[in-house]
Amino acid sequence: VLTSDDPETGAKNMFTIITLASSNSLVIWALCGRYVLGHEAMRRMGTANVLIAGMRGLGVEIAKNVILSGVKSVTVQDEGLAEWMDFSSQFFLLASHLGQNRALSSLSQLSALNPHVHVNAHTGPLKETLLQQFQVVVLTDSSLDDQQRFGTFCHSNGIKLIVADTKGLCGQLFCDFGEEFEVLDADGETPASAMIDHITKADPGVVTCFEQRHGFVDGSTVSLSEVCGMTKLNSYGPVDIKVLGPDSFSICDTSSFSEYEKGGVATEVKKSKILQFKPLDEALVDPELLVMTDYGKMTKHQTLHLAFQALHGFVKRVGRLPLPRSQSDAELLVAMVTELNKVSQLDQLDEGVVQSLSFTACGDLAPVNAFIGGLAAQEVMKACTGKFTPLQQWLYFDALECLPEDNGGEGEQLTESTCSPRGSRYDGQTAVFGSGFQERLGEQKYFLVGAGAIGCELLKNFALIGLGAGEGGHITVTDMDSIERSNLNRQFLFRSQDIGVREKQKSEVAAQAVRVMNPNMNITAHQNHLDPDSEQVYGHTFFMGLDGVAAALDNVEARVYLDGRCVQHQRPMLEGGTLGSKGHSLVVVPHLTESYGPAKTGSQNAIPLCTLKNFPHRIEHTLQWARDQFEGLYKQAAEHVNLYFRDSAGFLERTLGRGEAEALEVLECVWGGVGGQRPQGWEDCVGWARRQWETLYNNDIAQLLHCFPSDQLTSSGLPFWSGAKRCPHPLTFDPSNTTHMDYVVAAANLYGQIYGIVGTRDCSAIRSILERVHIPAFTPKSTVKIHLTDKEMEEERESGNLDTGRLDELQKKLSSPPVNSAALQMHPIDFEKDDDNNFHIDYIVAASNLRAENYDIPTADRHKSKLIAGRIIPAIATTTAAVAGLMCVELYKLVQGHRKISSYRSGYINLAVQYCVLSEPLGPQRFTVSDRSAHTPTGMELTVFTCLIRGVVSIQVRQGVTVHPHTTAPPCLELCLHNPGDLQCIKAPKCEARE
Q: What is the pLDDT of residues 823-874, one digit of tens each?
A: 678 888 888 876 778 899 999 999 999 999 999 888 888 877 887 776 666 6
Residue 164 β-bridge partners: 140, 173
Question: pLDDT-derived band of residue 597, with 50, 70 and 90 as boundaries?
Answer: confident
Query: pLDDT (tens digit, 9 = 90+) per residue, 769-827?
Result: 999 999 999 998 887 777 777 676 666 655 555 556 777 777 777 777 776 666 678 88
Range in 68-72, 410-414, 776-780, 964-968 the model is least confident about: 964-968
What's the confidence (pLDDT) of residue 265? 86
Predicted local distance difference test score (pLDDT) of residue 486:
52
Residue whose C-alpha is closest to residue 432's, from 422, 421, 419: 419
Q: Which pLDDT does position 977 carry in this prediction?
A: 39
Give the catalytic positions in this structure: 610
| Alpha-carbon torsion (798, 804, 810, 811), positive or negative | positive
Range 642-667 average pLDDT: 75
User: pLDDT tens across 468-513, in order?
Assistant: 999 999 999 998 765 555 554 555 565 555 455 555 677 888 899 8
- Of 36-45, 187-196, 728-737, the range with the highest mean pLDDT is 728-737
Range 879-908 average pLDDT: 94
User: Of 315, 317, 287, 300, which Cα lies nearest the Cα of 351?
Assistant: 300
Closest CA to 591 of 975, 932, 887: 975
Half-sphere exposure of 493 (CA within 13 A, CB side): 29
Quick one: which H or E segment has residue 811? helix 804-813
Q: Which of 2.130.10.30, 3.30.1950.10, 2.40.30.180, 3.40.1130.10 would CATH assign to domain 193-269?
A: 2.40.30.180
Whether the per-residue pLDDT at 5 is higher than 80: the answer is no
So what's the pLDDT on residue 428? 95
| Cα Rg, the chain, nearest whole Å | 32
What DSSP state is assigned to residue 292?
A: P
Inter-residue contact 579 to 878 (CB < 8 Å)? no
Question: pLDDT class for 78, splitting at 50, 70, 90?
Answer: very high
DSSP 450-470: --SHHHHHHHHHHHHHTTT-S
B/e letters for 73-96, b = 16+ CB within 10 Å, e = fewer, are: bbbbbbeeebbbbbbbbbbbbeee
Number of neighbouring beta carbons within 10 Å of residue 957: 21
Sequence ranges of the chain with CATH classification 3.40.50.720: 25-183
Sign (positive/negative) of CA torsion 431, 436, 442, 448? negative
- Across the beta sheet with 248-250, the strand order is 239-240, 221-225, 265-268, 193-199, 206-209, 248-250, 242-245
In Å, what is the CA distance from 602 to each residue of 593, 606, 647?
25, 7, 36
pLDDT at 411: 57
CATH (residue range 617-709+734-856): 1.10.10.2660
Whole-number average pLDDT of the chain: 82
Amino acid at 757: I
pLDDT of 191 over the 90 cut? no
Helical (H) or strand (E) element with 770? helix 763-770
Inform me whether the pLDDT recorded for 15 exceeds 70.
Answer: no
Lowest-confidence segment of 371-375, 667-671, 960-964 by average pLDDT: 960-964
Average pLDDT over residues 654-668: 73
The single-letter code of the amino acid at 594 is E
- Residue 480 has what pLDDT? 79
Give the model's pLDDT for residue 607: 67
Average pLDDT, integer, range 756-780: 92
Main-chain dihedrals φ then ψ at residue 110, nearest 5 degrees: -65, -40
Q: How open is the CA angle 276-280-281, to the nearest 5 degrees?
A: 120
pLDDT attached to residue 940: 43
Q: What is the mean pLDDT of residues 181-185?
A: 92
CB 253 within 8 A of CB 259: no
Q: How many CA atoms lie within 13 A of 754 on its CB side?
A: 30
The pLDDT value recorded for residue 988 is 34
CATH 2.40.30.180 placement within the chain: 193-269
**pLDDT per position as a tens digit, 387-397:** 899 999 999 99
Residue 950 has a pLDDT of: 31
Work out the end-to-end distance of the chain between its first and last CA atoms, rounded to an integer number of angstroms: 71
pLDDT band at residue 21, thresholds of 50, 70 and 90? very low
What is the mean pLDDT of the segment spanning 555-581? 89
In this predicted structure, what is the pLDDT of residue 712? 87
Note the pLDDT of residue 968.
Answer: 37
213-242 pLDDT tens trace:
787 888 889 999 888 899 999 988 899 999
Residues of the chain with CATH 1.10.10.2660: 617-709+734-856
Model confidence band, residue 720 (pLDDT cutoffs 50, 70, 90)? confident
Tell me the pLDDT band of 875, cut-offs 50, 70 and 90. Answer: confident
- Work out whether strand 206-209 and strand 394-398 pair parallel, antiparallel, or are unpaired: unpaired
Check whether 465 has a pLDDT greater than 60. Answer: yes
- pLDDT band (50, 70, 90) for residue 318: very high
The span from the CA of 695 to the CA of 119, in Å, is 55
Q: Give the confidence band of 43 by pLDDT, cuts at 50, 70, 90.
A: confident
C-alpha–C-alpha distance, residues 370 and 883, integer Å: 8
The pLDDT value given to residue 944: 40
Q: What is the pLDDT of residue 346?
A: 87
Mean pLDDT lowest among 50-54, 896-900, 934-938: 934-938
The backbone torsions φ and ψ at residue 923, rounded to the nearest 5 degrees and listed phi first, read -85, 170
**Domain spanning 25-183: CATH 3.40.50.720:** yes
The mean pLDDT of 338-348, rounded to a whole number, is 89
Instruction: Identify the pLDDT of residue 77.
Output: 97
Confidence (pLDDT) at 790: 65
Query: 171 pLDDT exceeds 80?
Result: yes
Q: What is the mean pLDDT of residues 679-697?
A: 94
pLDDT, residue 928, reads 53
Quickly count: other Cβ atoms within 10 Å of residue 154's Cβ: 25
Q: Which residue has the higher pLDDT, 877 or 925?
A: 877
Contact call for residues 842 and 745 (beta carbons, < 8 A): yes
Q: In this predicted model, what pLDDT tens digit does every residue of 447-463 receive, in sequence order? A: 999 888 899 999 999 99
Q: What is the pLDDT of residue 529?
A: 85
